[in-house]
Structure 1
Amino acid sequence: MHTIWKGSISFGLVNIPIKLHAATEDKDVKLRSLHRECHTPIKYEKICPVCEKDLEYEDIVKGYEIAKGKFVVIEEEEIKELRNSSEEKAVEIVDFIKMEDIDPIYYNKSYFMSPNEGGKKAYSLLRKALTESNKVGIAKIAIRSKEQLAVVRVYQNTMVMETIHFPDEVRSTGDVPNVPAEDEVSKKELETAVMLIDQLSTGFEPEKYEDEYRQKLMDLIQSKQTGEKFVTPKEKAPAANVTDLMSALQASIDKTKPQKGPKPDTKAPAEKIQKKKRTTKKVEAQ
């Protein structure tokens, strides 16, 4: 399993070297955008709409929009300095609480935690202590330039760290439109709804749930593949137009060729006069 982070986790004076591994994966079926005519994948390029030119990485800076069309520019070096000052490779558990005290809306992403070299005993100690106390740890950690709150708990004999949102990242329910202030239901309607819930109540068995849309999409892709209903992009034309180039070269050669016809008279003027006199005498003698 790929390691995405190395560091340590501490509670009190106990320090445990650990590794983090992504506990979940995205199983979405990724579809590419193709040109309908030639089935070539579409390119998304960084282009400045004002300067009308392609941008390189070094041409781009970060900016925070403080008002419509007004930005504060933040240089990469400034971001790096802030990142270095806060990104200590440590997870510090600051509190222990009951897991039911955390509303699920706060949960974000899960990571498996494994002990790094020399950390097995301390890892086992924390895992056992969390299980015996029926508590979870609240910790702080910096991952990918973002400081986050996290819950450290035990899941199937493995410690898991789940990042959670800060309170100001969870929107207020008061901003949700059209929520009725009071329940306008009759007693009979309520009893019927509760009865239905009781009939459908069961234990949570995650294995019996599946992404039906993803499965149907994969079945469609498989049927097209086995039925050879697939497309390939057209080959890109050569960068240089050889035909036009050869035509231009040939036209240039033809233009510079000497013209065919009577040879130009290159004799000197005096020689021309002598030749004319001899011709005149010959005519008179006849």
Structure 2
Amino acid sequence: MHTMWKGSISFGLVNIPIKLHTATEDKDIKLRTLHNKCHAPIKYEKICTVCEEEVKPEEIVKAYEYTKGKFVVLDNDDLEKLRRENEEKAVEIIDFVKIEQIDPIYFERSYYMSPNEGGSKAYSLLRKALQESQKVGLAKIVIRSKEQLAVIRVYENTLVLETIHFPDEVRKAGDVPNVPSEDKVTKKELDTAILLIDQLTSEFEPDKYTDEYRSALLELIESKRNGKETVTATTRDIPSNVTDLMAALKASIDRTKPKKGGAQKKKPEPKIKKEA
């Protein structure tokens, strides 16, 4: 499993060298966009809004727009230094809480934690302590140049780090428009709804849930491929070096041709040697 972060987690005087591994994967089917006319892939270029020229990666800088059209340019070296200073710090668990106190809206992404060299015993200690106390740890960690609030918990005998949103990143539910303030339902309607919920209540078995749309899309793609319903992208003819050379030679000849109306030097007639 690919390691995407190395560092250490500490609580009190206990320090645990760990590695992070992405716990989930994106299985969305990526569809390319083609030009309907020739079925060639469409290229998206970075174009300057003023120069109307394509911008190369080395010509791009990052900046913060503090007001419309005005920016503070941030130097790449400064950003890299800031990232290293924060990422290299040991991650300290700052609080222990009951996981029921954290609403699911805060959760963002999951990472498996594995002990790095020399960290197995401390890893086991934290895992057992969390299991016995039935609590989770709260910590701060910098991942990919972004500081994250994180929950450390146990999942199937493995420590998991769950990044969660900061409170100011979660929009207020009260700002959602058209939400009724009072429940205007009858007792009969409520009893019927609760009865339906009871009938549909079961144990959570994640394996019985599948992405039906993705499966159907894969079947559609496979059936079209087997039925030869495929297209081939049209390629652009790129002039060869020989063609370029011939064009250059022809242009050179054209440039050296004498101008019309200019005096031309008459070539001397060849002398014919008479036989004796």
TM surpasses 0.5: yes
User: In structure 1, what residue type is equivalent to 2:97?
Assistant: I
Contact residue 98 and residue 136 of structure 1 kept, 8 A: yes
- What residue is the counterpart of 1:93 in the other structure? 93
User: In structure 2, what residue type is equivalent to 1:23?
Assistant: A
TM-score, normalised by the number of residues in structure 2: 0.86
Report matched runs for 1:10-21 at 5 Å: 10-21=10-21
Structure 2, gaps ≥5 residues long: 259-265, 270-276
- Show CA shifts across 1:181-234 (max 9, x none): 111111111111111111111111111111111111100111111122111211
- What residue is the counterpart of 1:131 in the other structure? 131
- What residue is the counterpart of 1:178 in the other structure? 178
Cα deviation for residue 69 of structure 1 reads 2.4
Q: Which moved more, 1:28-37 or 1:57-66?
A: 57-66
Q: Which moved more, 1:140-149 or 1:237-246?
A: 237-246
- What residue is the counterpart of 1:57 in the other structure? 57
Q: What is the distance in 2 between the residues matched to 1:266 and 1:111?
A: 90
Contact residue 127 and residue 154 of structure 1 kept, 8 A: yes
- What residue is the counterpart of 2:274 in the other structure? none
Q: What is the distance in 1 between the residues matched to 2:12 and 2:116?
A: 19
- What residue is the counterpart of 1:230 in the other structure? 230
Q: What is the distance in 2 between the residues matched to 1:92 and 1:214?
A: 40
SS in 2 for 1:210: coil
- Structure number having the greater helix percentage: 1
The yes-or-no answer on 1:73 pairing with 2:66 is no
SS in 2 for 1:54: coil
Report matched runs for 1:130-279 at 5 Å: 130-239=130-239, 242=243, 245=247, 248=250, 252=254
Q: What is the distance in 2 between the residues matched to 1:64 and 1:19?
A: 32
Compared with structure 1, are the counterparts of its residues 79 and 249 closer, same or farther at alpha carbon in structure 2 (3 Å cutoff)? Answer: closer
Q: What is the distance in 1 between the residues matched to 2:84 and 2:114?
A: 25
Q: What is the distance in 2 between the residues matched to 1:218 and 1:150?
A: 36
SS in 1 for 2:214: helix
- What residue is the counterpart of 1:276 in the other structure? none
Contact residue 6 and residue 89 of structure 1 kept, 8 A: no
Compared with structure 1, are the counterparts of its residues 96 and 245 closer, same or farther at alpha carbon in structure 2 (3 Å cutoff)? Answer: same
Compared with structure 1, are the counterparts of its residues 246 and 167 closer, same or farther at alpha carbon in structure 2 (3 Å cutoff)? Answer: closer
SS in 2 for 1:114: strand
SS in 2 for 1:53: coil
Cα deviation for residue 247 of structure 1 reads 11
SS in 2 for 1:193: helix
User: In structure 1, what residue type is equivalent to 2:23?
Assistant: A
Question: Where has structure 1 moved over 4 Å in runs of 4 or more?
Answer: 246-253, 264-267
TM-score, normalised by the number of residues in structure 1: 0.83
Q: What is the distance in 2 between the residues matched to 1:143 and 1:209?
A: 31
Compared with structure 1, are the counterparts of its residues 48 and 246 closer, same or farther at alpha carbon in structure 2 (3 Å cutoff)? Answer: closer
- What residue is the counterpart of 1:270 in the other structure? none
User: In structure 2, what residue type is equivalent to 1:53?
Assistant: E
Structure 1, gaps ≥5 residues long: 257-263, 268-286
Cα deviation for residue 36 of structure 1 reads 1.2
User: In structure 1, what residue type is equivalent to 2:231?
Assistant: V
Cα deviation for residue 177 of structure 1 reads 0.8
Compared with structure 1, are the counterparts of its residues 186 and 40 closer, same or farther at alpha carbon in structure 2 (3 Å cutoff)? Answer: same
- What residue is the counterpart of 1:84 in the other structure? 84
Compared with structure 1, are the counterparts of its residues 265 and 43 closer, same or farther at alpha carbon in structure 2 (3 Å cutoff)? Answer: closer
Cα deviation for residue 62 of structure 1 reads 1.4
Instruction: Name the % identity.
Output: 64
Q: What is the distance in 2 between the residues matched to 1:48 and 1:90?
A: 41
- What residue is the counterpart of 2:41 in the other structure? 41
Q: What is the distance in 1 between the residues matched to 2:22 and 2:83?
A: 22
Q: What is the distance in 1 between the residues matched to 2:189 and 2:59?
A: 63
Q: Which moved more, 1:111-120 or 1:76-85?
A: 76-85
Q: What is the distance in 2 between the residues matched to 1:125 and 1:250?
A: 81
Q: What is the distance in 1 between the residues matched to 2:239 and 2:196?
A: 68
- Show CA shifts across 1:138-166 (max 9, x none): 11111111111111000001110000000
- What residue is the counterpart of 2:120 in the other structure? 120
User: In structure 2, what residue type is equivalent to 1:135?
Assistant: K
SS in 1 for 2:65: strand
